[in-house]
Amino acid sequence: MTRRYNFCAGPAALPEAVLARAQDELLDYQGRGLSVMEMSHRSNEFVAIAEQTEADLRQLLGIPSNYKVLFLQGGASLQFAMLPMNLLGHGGSGNFIQTGIWGKKALTEAKRLGFRHHVAASSEASGHTKVPAQDALQISTDAAYLHYTSNETIGGLEFDYVPQAQRSDGADVPLVCDMSSNILSGPLDVSQFGVIYAGAQKNIGPAGLTLVVVRDDLLGSAPPTIPSLFDYQQLAEAGSMVNTPPTYAWYLAGLVFQWLKDDIGGLEAMDAINRRKAQKLYAAIDASELYSNPIALANRSRMNVPFVLDDARLDNAFLKEADEAGLLNLKGHRSVGGMRASLYNAVPEEAVDALIAFMADFEQRRG
């Protein structure tokens, strides 16, 4: 077996220690004679796994007791529908900060479903290279929540602050954040948010699991006419088991949380590693003649580093040689082209060092 360095934007690299433990336990979980995949979600064994997973996440993120944690299906994209259906059932509009493709999808889905919506700010004029400033936000008078995407996976644009939202009457507007691609990359003050959600397949676990953290006061206002699996309140009351949850993905998320706690030492330590990884890759890009990244310095994503070669005819050679050098999945998203190196938690610093060395070598030979 030879593990390679995997810079995939998602489904993304998982910690090797997590995969090794999953492998070890795959046919026989702790001597019980069956796989976690084969357990009833209501069995004592699985309920213990589920509860430990939630407890570890609560500890890592410091989630206050007035928040519920849900382990759901459908990805962030299903949340694009569930959020307005839960939060706009009694009127009001969703306010959206637009900083790229994912934020636009969230807005488009609310529109599709017929909900009132308002663009509170957009970075479109800058080509989504700079996050709008706090004082540029225009919150509508009927705002029921403010939604933003803390890290745009495709554009490589990350918020360097947590927006504050108040209506003109002074009322606080709950903040809703899609953190799919940067959750758990560093510490977070959950109390600033109404809802945090994230698809698992970047920093949490395998695809097919979605994390939702929702403040208690936002539960219970969904109209009774939405699909029963969409109602946060019902999901919370059932411990995310209105129906059978994705048990194996939930278990793997638990292994990732344990790895973050025990192997990494928590989110501050993770943050320091992530900053170092991103800093050195951006420094290498900035110092080169061949590679470039267009994002404003303060908003460069620590998780997704898109870059282009100044001669796009070299792209295929770059990707082919990188792959041969054991550096996988560096191709940029099909909608933007170029390259993208995703540096999620599970991508080790050695991978970034190897990428930087390869990039320098490639530039010397081909640039």
> 52, 74, 315, 360: which one contacts a copy of itself (CB under 8 A)?
74
- What single-letter DSSP state applies at residue 328? E
- What single-letter DSSP state applies at residue 331? B
Which of 71, 87, 101 minimizes the C-alpha distance to 146?
Answer: 87
Q: Which of 63, 260 has the CB closer to a copy of itself?
A: 260
Backbone angles phi, psi at 305, to 5 degrees: -110, 95
With tokens 């994912």, the residue in question is 102
Q: Which window, 34-42, 143-151, 261-269, 270-278, contacts a copy of itself (CB under 8 A)?
A: 34-42
Shortest separation between residue 219's beta carbon and a copy of itself, angstroms: 18
Q: Which residues pair with 339 in a beta bridge?
A: 307, 331
Residues 6+ apart with CB under 8 A from 10: 153, 180, 181, 199, 201, 202, 207, 342
Number of residues that bind a copy of itself (CB under 8 A): 67
Q: Is 10 in the site for a copy of itself (CB under 8 A)?
A: yes
List b or e across 231-257, with b for residues whose CB sees 16 or more CB atoms inside 10 angstroms.
Answer: bbbebbeebbbbeebbbbbbbbbbbbb
> 62, 64, 220, 227: which one contacts a copy of itself (CB under 8 A)?
227
Is 244 annotated for ligand binding?
yes
> 325, 328, 336, 354: which one contacts a copy of itself (CB under 8 A)?
328
> 47, 55, 58, 78: which one contacts a copy of itself (CB under 8 A)?
78
* Residue 46 burial by Cβ neighbours in a 10 Å radius (0-12, 13-18, 19+): buried
In this structure, the chain runs to a length of 367
Sign of the C-alpha dihedral, residues 174, 179, 184, 187?
negative
Q: Which of 240, 288 has the CB closer to a copy of itself?
A: 240
> 44, 59, 164, 243: which one contacts a copy of itself (CB under 8 A)?
243
Q: Is 360 in the site for a copy of itself (CB under 8 A)?
A: no
Enzyme catalytic residues: 102, 178, 202
Q: Is 204 in the site for a copy of itself (CB under 8 A)?
A: no
Residues 6+ apart with CB under 8 A from 297: none
Shortest separation between residue 23's beta carbon and a copy of itself, angstroms: 4
> 197, 248, 307, 362: which one contacts a copy of itself (CB under 8 A)?
248
Residue list for the binding site for L-glutamate = 42
Give the residues lining the site for a copy of itself (CB under 8 A).
1-4, 6, 8-14, 16, 19-20, 22-23, 26-28, 31-35, 37-43, 73-78, 81, 109, 112-114, 199, 201, 206-209, 224-225, 227-229, 242-249, 252, 326, 328-329, 334
